[in-house]
Amino acid sequence: MREDLLILPGLMCDAGMFAATLAAFPQARAIGDHYRGADDIGAMAEHVLAFAPARFALIGHSMGARVALEVVARAPDRVTRLMIADTGVHGVREGEADSRHALRDLGRREGFDRLVDAWLPPMVGDAARADAALMASLRAMCLRGGQAVFEAQTHALLHRPDTDAVLQALARPVAVVVGAEDQWSSVAQHEAIAARIAGARIHVIPGAGHMAPAEKPEDFNTLIREWLDARVPATPLTT
């Protein structure tokens, strides 16, 4: 029997992003409550640890990967292996607050649906943008979050903790996954992340953007199977 698997969604995302993965892996669970509206990465990590089984494999997507790294920092003995996807580990960049606040203000001014319609299309690859059913599903998922969740998660991202210490201490292989067409978190960015983690392997999913788990679920699930099947020493993720 495979080990328990816990999945952490990103900004404005919930368990719907991983419907195909949850169906394929009976032992998998995903945080589906937007971290109870938390506006701090540390608080999100504590919510995950309260929800999680005693030991588990951990997948973090986008913002969820930053939460995953904080989970590892706080409870390395509980995480058996780690996959981070379509994400970043850098600090807040110049102009980032302005761009995030511009979206926040659009939602306040014209309604949350207008915010989602501006934010979502660049998050996916070309094929996904042409897939009406997929885009409708992703849009509905984002709308479930709402303005308050977007603002709380934006605050969390703009005050995110430094990841250097946990990255340097990761003591076993980590999978780093990215969509080839991810315009928000590029392949080059993930190559740099993998280079900072001893033994990390990078996997690029062709034809996918930032929402790779929903855009190319079969490819994503194949990577999960390979990752779960890899032998991992019985030691914590950090030492």
Cα angle: 24, vertex 212, 166; to 5 degrees: 95
**Alpha-carbon distance 194 to 205, whole Å?**
15
CATH number for 1-239 (one of 3.40.710.10, 3.20.20.140, 3.90.850.10, 3.40.50.1820): it is 3.40.50.1820
End-to-end CA distance of the chain: 27
The domains of the chain are located at 1-239
215 Cβ contact list (under 8 Å, min separation 6): 124, 125, 127, 128, 134, 179, 205, 207, 208, 209
Is residue 123 within 8 Å of residue 8, measured between CB atoms?
Answer: no
Per-residue pLDDT of the chain (239 residues; tens, 9 = 90+): 578 999 999 999 999 999 999 999 999 999 999 999 999 999 999 999 999 999 999 999 999 999 999 999 999 999 999 999 999 999 999 999 999 999 999 999 999 999 999 999 999 999 999 999 999 999 999 999 999 999 999 999 999 999 999 998 887 669 999 999 999 999 999 999 999 998 899 999 999 999 999 999 999 999 999 999 987 655 667 76
| Cα–chain center distance at 147 | 19
Task: List, for residues 90-148, the tens digit of each pLDDT value.
Answer: 999 999 999 999 999 999 999 999 999 999 999 999 999 999 999 999 999 999 999 99
Is residue 153 within 8 Å of residue 12, measured between CB atoms?
Answer: yes
